[in-house]
């Protein structure tokens, strides 16, 4: 399994997005996070296709920290079932990946 991941969640205000990003970086569950401009989400809700404005938050972390990051996001997020999905980083610049490890290591 890849040692590094990008982890994506979405929320419905930029303030919530920044709070999720700050919380995870402060707790060293992610090295950094990037908050997108508003995206248009398209999904089915009670049988109807709906659209809503959401903000994507893309975390960079290690596989070792994933379980705790997910638990943190589930706890901190105000959706009942927030989107939390991880994608493997299979290659990356050595210096950057070392920084990700350093930033997500406690102590």
Interaction site with a copy of itself (CB under 8 A)? 1-2, 4-6, 8, 10, 14, 17-18, 21-22, 25-26, 31-44, 49, 51, 54, 56, 60, 63, 66, 70, 73-74, 80-93, 95-97, 99, 103
Phi then psi for 77, rounded to 5 degrees?
Answer: -80, 145
| Residue 94 CB, nearest approach to a copy of itself (Å) | 9
Q: Which residues pair with 89 in a beta bridge?
A: 4
49 vs 107, beta carbon nearer a copy of itself:
49
How many other CB atoms are there within 10 angstroms of residue 53's CB atom? 12
User: Tokens at residue 48, please?
Assistant: 């109807």
């Amino acid at each position: 399994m890849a040692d590094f991941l990008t982890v994506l969640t979405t929320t419905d205000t930029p303030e919530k997005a920044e709070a999720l990003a700050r919380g995870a970086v402060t707790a060293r569950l992610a090295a950094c996070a990037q908050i997108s401009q508003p995206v248009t989400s398209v999904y089915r809700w009670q049988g109807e296709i709906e659209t809503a404005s959401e903000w994507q938050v893309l975390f960079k972390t290690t596989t070792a920290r994933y379980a705790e990051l997910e638990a943190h996001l589930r706890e901190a997020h105000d959706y009942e079932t927030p989107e939390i999905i991880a994608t493997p980083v299979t290659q990356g610049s050595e210096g950057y990946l070392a920084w990700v490890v350093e930033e997500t290591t406690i102590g």
